[in-house]
Structure 1
Amino acid sequence: MKIVKVLGSGGPRCIETFEIAKAAINESGVDAILEKVSNYQEICKFGFITTPALVVEGTIKAMNRVPTKDEVIAWLDE
């Protein structure tokens, strides 16, 4: 099971990133857990981050932008 995290304060781009990640997980059929992380201390554990950020299995895949659904699907398949 893969762990996918969306890091951010909950603004519009963070919400959009979360919805795209959710759609990508559903479309890909990958067994994954999707989490929202808005706690600043938790976000800081990943280093200097500008949000929104998308993390797959502990690796930052996108930062300071909203990824496409196709990008997220590709990252899930890695």
Structure 2
Amino acid sequence: MKSIKVYGPGCKRCETAEAMVKDTAANLGVEVEVEKVTDPKAIAMAGVMSTPGIAIDGKLVHAGGLPDAAKLAGWLSA
């Protein structure tokens, strides 16, 4: 199971990024645990300077804007 953290204050883009992660994982058959991180200090501590940010198994893979669907699928498949 992959541990995913979606960093963001709760804006529409952050919600969309979270939904993209869940939908892509379901389509790939990858089991994930998604945690939404909204605390500004925790977001900064993770190194996210622009939201939404996505970390997979503790590694920040994306920050700022919505991720590319193909890249997201690649990250989840790795």
Same fold (TM over 0.5): yes
The equivalences for 1:1-40 within 5 A come to 1-40=1-40
Task: Count how many residue pairs are aligned between Structure 1 and Structure 2.
Answer: 78
Structure 1 runs (4+) deviating above 6 angstroms are: none
Contact 1:52 1:63 in 2 (8 A): yes
Displacement after TM superposition at 1:53 (Å): 0.7
Judged with a 3 Å threshold, the aligned counterparts in structure 2 of structure 1 residues 48 and 17 are, in CA distance, closer, same or farther, namely closer
Preserved CA contact (<8 Å) 1:20 1:68: no
Please report the RMSD computed on the Cα atoms of aligned residues, expressed in angstroms.
1.3
1:47, distance to aligned residue in structure 2 (A): 2.2
Structure 1's unaligned 5+ residue stretches are none
When the two structures are superposed, what TM-score results if normalisation uses the length of structure 1?
0.88
TM-score (norm 2): 0.88
Distance 2:13 2:48 in 1: 18
Amino acid at match of 2:16: E
